[in-house]
Every structure is written in structure tokens, then in C-alpha cells.
Chains A and B, each alone.
Chain A
Amino acid sequence: MISLLTLALHGALISVSLGLLFCCVRLLLGPSAQDRVLALDTLWMCAMLLCLLLGIRYGSMVYFEAALLIALLGFVSTIALAKFLMRGEIIE
């Protein structure tokens, strides 16, 4: 049981890390600004998933709070960046 869970957990960790790498590739060579904003949003989400998986890996609830904070900050920053792309300023 424990070996199956360990295998699945490490598979998921490797998958999410590869996803982070793919998002970084799109962030670096995205042709337009909205591509980069989209890649940054996905990067936040993948970092949140990585935090949750590390919380399962180490059996600790502290990682959950970090994941919640990452989700909140990712939402706010993406909204601000999208508003900046559309209007040219954030607070009107």
C-alpha cells in the first residue's frame, strides 16, 4: 500500500515539475504579452499543485496554507496583469 502511494506521489511530483518547466518555456518565448500572462497564471497554479503534493509527501498541514496563499496571490496578480494589458493602467 505504502509503496503504491509513494510511486503515485512521486509520479505526480515529476509530472507537475515537468508542467512547471513547460510553463517556463512558454513564459520565456511567448510571442506576445498575453501569452506570457497566461503562462504566468499557469505557473502559479502548478506551484500550488506542487505545494499540495509536498504537503502529502511530508504529511504536514503547513503546506496547505502556503498553497492557499499561492492561489490567492496568483489570482490577484493575474487580474492586475490582465487589466494592465487591457487598459494600460491598473487602478483608474
Chain B
Amino acid sequence: MSGMNHWENLPLWAGLPAALLLILGGGIALIGCLGLMRLPHFYQRIHGPAITITLGTSCILIASMLLFSAQATRPVVHELLITLFVLMTAPMVSMLIMRAAVHRELRKPPPNPPRAESAWNVYGDLAQRPSRTPEPPEMP
């Protein structure tokens, strides 16, 4: 493969774990994005990118640290900056998006008749219960 000559004399102890971590990180990132695309409800969908951000990013960053440390024959740890930043901010971001979603869903009036997929269906039995909200009056 042309263009990869800078990794020619890479020792085995760095190359083998780095290759495994790269495959693992790429696969985990792909699975997270697949979950984001495929899952049916927003509250399920928000769990997909979590593994992309934590596990996938950590695997690829550790592989990058290994490779560059072995190439420079000294510890190269500045990828820890991205790791720390991403691991600190990912819960904050998902919590803010989740709060915004709950806020927006609960600000809407409850559906009449109630639907099973509504955010008001906290206990999962809203479709079975009889509707108590009266019909909205006709606007003139």
C-alpha cells in the first residue's frame, strides 16, 4: 500500500494492539450510528451515539497514542486532551438534549385520544385508560 511508508519499522507490540483497537473502535462507532438511524423512538435513539462517543472514540484515541508513541520512541500522550474533553462533555450534551426533548414533548398538549407512543405514557397504560380530557371547544 503506497502512502503508509511512515509505519514501516513499527514494532509488533504496538502494531498488533493498535490494529485490534482500530477495528474495534470503527465497529463500535458504526454500531452506534446504526442505532441512531434504526431505533424507533427518540428516547431509545439517544442511547446509540453514547457508545460511539465513549467507547469508539476511546479505542481510536488509544490506538493513535500507541502508534505515535512507538513511532517517536517516547510517550506521546496529547491525545489524552481529546479523551478527557470528550468524556467530560458527552454526558452534559446528552443530558441537555434529553432535557430539551422532555421539555418540548411535555409542553405539547396531551393527545386526545391518548396514544401509546406519547411522552405522557409514563406508566405504559395510557392507551387502555379512558380519556378524561374533554373535547376542545369549537373556535368561532
A and B co-occur in one complex: yes
Taking Cβ atoms with an 8 Å cutoff, the residues of A that contact B are: 1-9, 11-16, 18-20, 22-23, 25-26, 32-35, 37-39, 41-42, 45-46, 48-49, 52-53, 55-59, 61, 64, 67-68, 71-72, 75, 78-79, 82-83, 85-86
Given the known A-B contacts A9-B22, A15-B29, are A34 and B1 also in contact in the complex, defined by CB atoms under 8 Å?
no
Q: Is the interface of A mostly helix, strand, loop or mixed?
A: helix
Given the known A-B contacts A33-B104, A83-B96, are A12 and B64 also in contact in the complex, defined by CB atoms under 8 Å?
no
Taking Cβ atoms with an 8 Å cutoff, the residues of B that contact A are: 1, 3-4, 6-8, 10, 12, 15-16, 18-20, 22-23, 25-27, 29-30, 32-34, 36-37, 42, 45-46, 48-49, 52-53, 56-57, 60-61, 63-64, 67-68, 71, 78-79, 81-82, 85-86, 89, 92-93, 96-97, 99-101, 103-104
Given the known A-B contacts A12-B25, A12-B26, are A82 and B60 also in contact in the complex, defined by CB atoms under 8 Å?
no
Q: Select which of A9, A14, A16, A38 is within 8 A of B46 by beta carbon.
A: A38
Q: List 26 A-B contacts (CB under 8 A).
A: A1-B12, A1-B15, A1-B16, A2-B1, A3-B1, A12-B25, A12-B26, A13-B26, A15-B29, A19-B52, A20-B33, A26-B36, A34-B104, A35-B42, A38-B42, A38-B97, A41-B49, A42-B33, A52-B64, A57-B4, A58-B3, A67-B82, A78-B96, A79-B92, A79-B93, A86-B104
